[in-house]
Structure 1
């Protein structure tokens, strides 16, 4: 046994790591579609200078049994690190997870981080789940919990029409909606980045207080290009005020290796433009575009903190149902 940093340029080793990752993610989750090797390899090989990542693996008999990905923000929230940990179900209870967790703590401490965060998916009805016990024994404390919901597609047009009509009573005439595929035009990118950067500040995050993120138009364009190379598609609907700035947005992302799944990424309304049902408006418009262009997709998956009553009410009105939980645990390093 032992841990080492993965050479992501080695196709054979990267494929082994992807297989362990996929087997772990799908375990006990029959609806889950793992990302393709090609998508994963492009993601792991992309060097984001604002948030570099390290891929570490645990070996068992020459085979990769576990994978941990460590993220180190460099331009915002530089006091923390966060990681994702997976061990192949066939190689569990042999110490691989423990070794990788300690390696993550060592690397985060070396990078002068004072807090280390991890999260994972568990069933709704399992408060004492083994994943929780595993991290709690290693000094992690529960910080907050997201509720994962699925929306089965298609949503009836009549239902979307009703929700749209109700929201338009509040915002029509003051804003316009635009939907873009694989990135918004350059004139909208700065104001979009401005609202994206506030999401982590305003969304409920338990006891952790985050500072605004540092997305820039240049970094946004880089990420869109990476998604293009991964054959992902991102659908973005924005609300634009009379100054021409983005004041609300929502993203739906379709990984190529997950042929029936759509991920709901960020949704945010600028605090000065709330109370006008713009959150519902952009979500409905995005769903309409999705269903018109991708009838093969069968579900949308999203996660929200259980205390985020505003977003939860929108999702419930759309028809999302609870599937699992995603607890986030924190370990203080100093």
Structure 2
């Protein structure tokens, strides 16, 4: 039994089939409050999404169960609670969020929500809990990452994680690239990368993925967990196939989001060796999100990361000229990828902490 503060309800959120359905009001309100919370934390609206674009990401899939609750105080929605349960065989991990309006901090809502998360994770046989939180820079005591790369302030969120038994495992850097006037510099970097990447060619597509590349693309997506720096985070290995790629693509295409995939292909073998993804919502004047980027370990050392990023950004500038900037996230210890971003012109703006707790 979870004890709730007076006036608090943690209401399960049903995922509607359509944002226009009669039962979609709770989802629309969840989205509205989500956007407010992110703006309160970050100080800008770049993380905001309209409800119809967010909805496809919450539809159930074979690879993941997503559970959501509304935090309601005296009839007013003040936040949301989420728990993601990967469905790989033998999965031990669960990923969660607690997002509350700043004006209800300190009332025990977060503690009650975390009790719900931990109980539900145990019911699903999960023993590793992970969560990410943005920690805006402020003066005062700092926490260093155990990787030796980066630190965050000992702020409200950090104190909550520590009191709940979590360990800070990794710092993630958020960076922005101003696309205004970036094209000449990107073309110079692309030419240098092309020279170093002799024997590889660039291929690009807008989702959905062409059938001839689906299996190879799935294989690269599965390596995001094993090949990218993960510090002390304990991940379950992901299995990607054509069906999972299709499920992933639908979260974008059903939302009418525009996604460009740029890959480097090894000419002699036909192997896909690197990829980069750029995405934007229906409003093409908003920020672009640079999502997954990976160079397969066996093909590193040929400047393929720079190749796919610059080729992608240049094609993006032509296709989506009104998007003013790109945001991206990288582990602070991922020096090879950060060096590429810095050379391109990305500037760090904020940092997230990656937190983990192992249940007894």
- TM-score between the two structures when normalised by the length of structure 2: 0.88
The correspondence for 1:220, drawn from 230, 238, 245, is: 245
- Kindly provide the CA deviation profile for residues 131-160 of structure 1, in whole angstroms up to 9, marking residues without a partner as x: 111221111111111011111113522201
Most deviating of 284-293 and 241-250: 241-250
> What runs of 5+ residues in structure 2 fail to find an aligned partner?
1-7, 17-22, 140-152
Most deviating of 121-130 and 66-75: 121-130
Residue in 2 that maps onto 1:36: 50
Instruction: Measure how far apart 1:101 and its partner are.
Output: 1.4
Q: Residues 42 and 272 of structure 1: is their aligned pair in 2 closer, same or farther, counting only changes over 3 Å?
A: closer
The correspondence for 2:12, drawn from 5, 16, 19, is: 5
2:269 is the counterpart of 1:255:
no
Distance 1:258 1:122 in 2: 28
Distance 2:251 2:54 in 1: 11
Q: Residues 77 and 234 of structure 1: is their aligned pair in 2 closer, same or farther, counting only changes over 3 Å?
A: farther
Distance 1:120 1:99 in 2: 18
How many residues align structurally? 332
Q: Residues 213 and 88 of structure 1: is their aligned pair in 2 closer, same or farther, counting only changes over 3 Å?
A: same
Distance 1:257 1:81 in 2: 32
Residue in 2 that maps onto 1:205: 230
Distance 1:99 1:205 in 2: 29
Distance 1:21 1:272 in 2: 40
Q: Residues 294 and 214 of structure 1: is their aligned pair in 2 closer, same or farther, counting only changes over 3 Å?
A: same
Residue in 2 that maps onto 1:78: 91
2:356 is the counterpart of 1:330:
yes
Map 1:36-115; keep pairs closer than 5 Å: 36-44=50-58, 46-75=59-88, 78-115=91-128
Residue in 2 that maps onto 1:306: 332
> What runs of 5+ residues in structure 1 fail to find an aligned partner?
none
Distance 1:71 1:58 in 2: 17
Residue in 1 that maps onto 2:343: 317
Residue in 1 that maps onto 2:5: none
Q: Is residue 128–residue 234 contact of structure 2 (8 Å, CA) maintained in 1?
A: no
Q: Is residue 76–residue 212 contact of structure 1 (8 Å, CA) maintained in 2?
A: no
The correspondence for 2:323, drawn from 289, 297, 301, is: 297
SS of 1:64's equivalent in the other structure is: strand
Q: Residues 220 and 145 of structure 1: is their aligned pair in 2 closer, same or farther, counting only changes over 3 Å?
A: same
The correspondence for 1:186, drawn from 208, 211, 217, is: 211
Residue in 2 that maps onto 1:119: 132
Structure 1 runs of 4+ with >4 Å offset: none
Q: Residues 257 and 120 of structure 1: is their aligned pair in 2 closer, same or farther, counting only changes over 3 Å?
A: farther
Q: Is residue 16–residue 63 contact of structure 1 (8 Å, CA) maintained in 2?
A: no
Q: Is residue 57–residue 64 contact of structure 1 (8 Å, CA) maintained in 2?
A: yes
Q: Residues 78 and 211 of structure 1: is their aligned pair in 2 closer, same or farther, counting only changes over 3 Å?
A: closer
Q: Is residue 43–residue 226 contact of structure 1 (8 Å, CA) maintained in 2?
A: yes
Map 1:115-194; keep pairs closer than 5 Å: 115-125=128-138, 127-172=153-198, 174-194=199-219
Instruction: Measure how far apart 1:258 and its partner are.
Output: 7.5
Instruction: Measure how far apart 1:60 and its partner are.
Output: 0.5
Residue in 1 that maps onto 2:39: 26
Task: Provide the alpha-carbon RMSD of the alignment.
Answer: 1.6
Distance 1:125 1:316 in 2: 23
Q: Is residue 69–residue 84 contact of structure 1 (8 Å, CA) maintained in 2?
A: yes
Distance 2:57 2:232 in 1: 30
SS of 1:327's equivalent in the other structure is: strand
